[in-house]
Structure 1
């Protein structure tokens, strides 16, 4: 437990450094986009490739991974029903609300948190695949139909996950593993050294970019103080935040428990469910011009509030 608290404290310090760099103007606005793209296109794919190439694939295709997948699907489906039928939001806004309530930040925070809590990033791979191959193109297709957008642009959006560097890194690492090829044994080990160097950049880049993005979010927010959120997005916002930080971990706990998982093994799907909302959801909302305030503020609030939930889960199950 002390190790997890210490690790989260280190994450918080690095995130704070990024926030200070953004707030003081040491780095210009939107600098987080540069670091995020560097992590997205180079560092994180390299980390996933090298990790999966030498991983025990039984940890990837396992009961704990299945529990995490089922829990995320149930979380999103349940949140959609609440946003649509209880809060009375239109189908497009309800879908954005559902994604904000359950689509986790598996890359930028999932990887470092998995390393910290369970000491392994392989459990994140199935969630990345679920989100990249199923949830993202499926959501795009639904939003295209609802909003009336179709044609070539819609097709390009639907096939975008196939060009995703994270997916390429996961698939390449898995193929190398199945083929029995060690990256260190290819071309005298030089590619492995390059990939290792890039992979070691991933976590600090993610933390710094998160701090910079929080600084930008504070500048750009138009809603005023958190205690004075007004308008129709207010109830939906607090519903999404509560669903993400409370209902999602409890669903993961229930699903894992019903599957017979206990202790550290059960901590994997619960920790995954505790992760905050992915920043991708704000991008999706902005692209379709639906529930953008809801998506933006859910990302901000769940990122600020997920650490105590992770600590509580680790203290109970660890």
Structure 2
């Protein structure tokens, strides 16, 4: 337990350095976006290749990781039902609310937390695959259908995961492992040295980028847009989107990232409906808050609880049970905010869920480690 607390304290110190760099104007306010892309396109894929190439794959594909996958799916599906049927949200809003309740930050925070608490970054690979191969395409398909705002090409939607460097990092590392390829002996070991060097900077860059993003993040529960239905208006820009609290947007190319950012920054159209009166704004604000607290509570309490119940049912205990519980405790990924911005629905809910779950996940992880380690 003491080593987990000490490790999280070190992470906190590095995050604080990133925050101070922006607040002291030593780096540009948008420097977190640059670091995030470095991690996404280079450092994190390299870390995944080196880690998985020498990992014990029986630990990666195990009951623990299967329980983590099952818990995430159960949390998202059940949260969607609550947002849609109890809170009476539209299909698009319920989809964003469900993702805010269960789509975990598996890359930028999942990898360092897995290294610190579980001792192995490879355990996060099945969650990455679930999110890249299943949740992202399904999300785009649903939101494209109900908002009619997405890319009209179904092929582009279905091939999103194939353009993601994180996926190829997992594939390359796993293939090297299964093929018995020793990267340190391949081509004189020089490619392995380059990958090791890039992989070593992934975690500190993630933490610095997180701190930088928090320096300019808006306060939760502050409206930046009216969150009108997607058919009514284009998304407007938030005060400062927190690019680095997440897995970067899974379009897998600079063009895709730029397209998403343009969607975030696109101004409202001239034919946008008139500003609603104070009464309707108040009702909408109360509804947004109820959706937000449902998402945050589901993410930080219910989803780890689901992981624990499913794990106990599967016969897990102790350190084995810690893997799915810690994975379920990870905060909401920034991808959710990017999806909400792209489709112009649930933006405030997604943004605030990212911020609040990022701020609140540490006590949940510490509690899980104290009980199960």
Shorter-chain TM-score above 0.5: yes
Distance 2:148 2:28 in 1: 37
Distance 2:221 2:372 in 1: 37
Distance 2:157 2:33 in 1: 20
Instruction: Indicate yes or no: 2:11 matched with 1:11.
Output: yes
TM-score after normalising by structure 1: 0.96
Change (3 A) 1:151 1:196: closer
Residue of structure 2 in register with 1:217 after alignment: 217
**Aligned to 1:276, which of 320, 331, 343?**
331
Answer with 248-257 or 154-163: which moved more: 154-163
1:74-117 per-residue CA deviation (whole Å, 9 max, x = no partner) reads: 00001101111111111100000000000000000000000011
Aligned pairs (5 A) from 1:130-169: 130-149=130-149, 152-169=152-169
TM-superposed CA distance for 1:216, in Å, is 2.3
Aligned pairs (5 A) from 1:74-223: 74-149=74-149, 152-218=152-218, 222-223=222-223
Greater fraction of residues in helix: 1
TM-score after normalising by structure 2: 0.82
1:107-164 per-residue CA deviation (whole Å, 9 max, x = no partner) reads: 0000000001110011100000000000001110011111124664553233121110
Aligned length: 315
TM-superposed CA distance for 1:23, in Å, is 2.2
CA RMSD of aligned residues (A): 1.7
Answer with 249-258 or 16-25: which moved more: 16-25
Residue of structure 2 in register with 1:31 after alignment: 31
Q: More relative contact order in 1 or in 2 (CA 8 Å, sep 6+)? A: 1
Q: Is the 8 A contact 2:144 2:151 kept in 1?
A: no
Q: Which runs of 5+ in 1 are unaligned?
A: none
Q: Highest Rg: 1 or 2?
A: 2
TM-superposed CA distance for 1:29, in Å, is 1.8
Instruction: For residue 316 of structure 2, give the secondary structure of its aligned residue in structure 1.
Output: coil
